[in-house]
Amino acid sequence: MASSTLFLFFSSLFIFTSLLYVSEADYSAPIVKGLSWDYHHKTCHKVEKIVRKHLKKVFKDDIGQAAGLLRLHFHDCFVQGCDGSVLLDGSHGGPSEQTAPPNQSLRKQAFDIIEDLRNLVHRECGRVVSCADIVALAARDAVHLSGGPHYDVPLGRKDGLTFATQNATLDNLPAPTSNASTILSALATKNLTPTDVVALSGGHTIGVSHCSSFTTRLYPTQDPTMDKTFAHGLKEVCPTNTTNATTVMDIYSPIKFDNKYYVDLINRQGLFTSDQDLYTHEETKPIVESFAHDEKLFFEKFVKAMIKMGQMEVLTGEKGEIRAHCSIRNNDNKGYFSFLAEEEDQYYVESKDELR
């Protein structure tokens, strides 16, 4: 009797938790041709486990790295699509996308973590998962392991063969000094709605910023839309407009992925103009309010927007390649390939054609 009650208890718990999981996974989200939810099922079914396990370890030491990985995915997708081009080193073709001003403040460790993950995944499965897919999975886990929603990621992206120019990088990544109208129209060209814009900006619920990204709001005159006590605190961290220090972006709960970023905006404690103005603009203000009052709604819209962002201009099928090293395109990587061919032949080399 006792054991059957126990069985019923555990089986209903199991059903409940699986329902919870399924309701969080939005398989109804529109998906780009060439990507699929189970893309790596046959060739690398452990990929998501490998990524999750490694990131748990990384975040245990430093949860700040989660923010770096989330931002890396955003910077990858907005410039030339989610093709891992931000990971490429510069070449004779010119300075890389990575060195363009908006990318200079990406965390160096984020690049190392992605390369470590690629190494772990390729060791287990061979060269079948792209760096761009790994970036998307790492961003997803960064959100979830910081307290945010879990969601499934459409997979099957290929890595790009080129990086964007410095100008293209600057043109595609909005400046923190932009107002909401500028952000809305810039992101509309990427097919993102005002709800997507407000939800994605919620990525600023974790992480830090350098003074240089917001000191124009403090000096020479203080932005009147900024809460005075908040401004006072920022001036202590950044006493001049050339101070090189960092401060948290969500003063309320800086390492937790939650909806408090929107509460900050209502309290006029948003760090950038691009954040704070979302609470001034008449189209986005009600969305900010709804997310501040309803975290579940924020999570739902954030997941939708991330899935959309994660599929921007992706390369699939025959387009692009699966890099053997995230910072180097395969054509420039012959030395590394001959080493692999000798060491672990069939696992690492998908097709001889790709080695040309």
250 is in an annotated binding site: yes
282 is in an annotated binding site: no
Instruction: Provide the minimum distance between the beta carbon of 330 and ligand HEM in the complex, in angstroms, as a whole number.
Output: 29
Cβ distance to ligand HEM smaller for residue 58 or 183:
183
Which contiguous run of DSSP H or E holds residue 238?
none
Q: Which residue is catalytic, options 73, 75, 281, 325? A: 75
239 is in an annotated binding site: no
Cβ distance to ligand HEM smaller for residue 74 or 348:
74
81 is in an annotated binding site: yes
Binding site for ligand HEM (CB under 6 A): 67-68, 70-71, 74, 105, 107, 174-176, 183, 200-201, 203-204, 206-210, 213, 274
Torsion of CA 338, 339, 342, 343, to 10 degrees: -150
Cβ distance to ligand HEM smaller for residue 102 or 126:
102
- Contacts for 25 with CB less than 8 Å, ≥ 6 apart: 150, 151, 152
- Residue with the shortest CB distance to ligand HEM: 207
Annotate 127-157 with DSSP letters as a single string. Answer: TTS-HHHHHHHHHHHHHHHTT-------B--
Cβ distance to ligand HEM smaller for residue 201 or 259:
201
Cβ distance to ligand HEM smaller for residue 204 or 325:
204
Classify residue 57 by burial, with Cβ atoms within 10 Å: 0-12, 13-18, 19+.
exposed
Partners of 248 in the β-ladder: 208
- Contacts for 250 with CB less than 8 Å, ≥ 6 apart: 204, 205, 206, 260, 261, 264
79 is in an annotated binding site: yes
Asked whether the beta carbons of 178 and 185 are under 8 A apart, the reply is no
| 220 prior amide bond cis, ω within 30 | yes
26 is in an annotated binding site: no
Q: In terms of Cα–Cα distance, which of 256, 213, 243 is closest to 105?
A: 213
Instruction: Provide the minimum distance between the beta carbon of 37 and ligand HEM in the complex, in angstroms, as a whole number.
Output: 21
Instruction: Provide the minimum distance between the beta carbon of 299 and ligand HEM in the complex, in angstroms, as a whole number.
Output: 13
Residue 92 a catalytic site member:
no
204 is in an annotated binding site: yes
Asked whether the beta carbons of 67 and 142 are under 8 A apart, the reply is yes
Name the H helices within the chain: 2-24, 47-61, 64-78, 101-104, 108-125, 131-145, 166-172, 180-188, 194-201, 228-237, 260-266, 273-276, 285-293, 295-309, 334-348
Instruction: Provide the minimum distance between the beta carbon of 189 and ligand HEM in the complex, in angstroms, as a whole number.
Output: 13
What does DSSP say about strands 208-210 and 246-248: parallel, antiparallel, or unpaired? antiparallel
Instruction: Provide the minimum distance between the beta carbon of 285 and ligand HEM in the complex, in angstroms, as a whole number.
Output: 16
Instruction: Provide the minimum distance between the beta carbon of 81 and ligand HEM in the complex, in angstroms, as a whole number.
Output: 15
Cβ distance to ligand HEM smaller for residue 34 or 239:
239
> Annotated binding residues for Ca(2+), as ranges?
76, 79, 81, 83, 85, 97, 205, 250, 258
Where in the sequence numbering do the catalytic residues fall? 75
> Annotated binding residues, as ranges?
76, 79, 81, 83, 85, 97, 174, 204-205, 250, 258
> Annotated binding residues for substrate, as ranges?
174
> Annotated binding residues for heme b, as ranges?
204
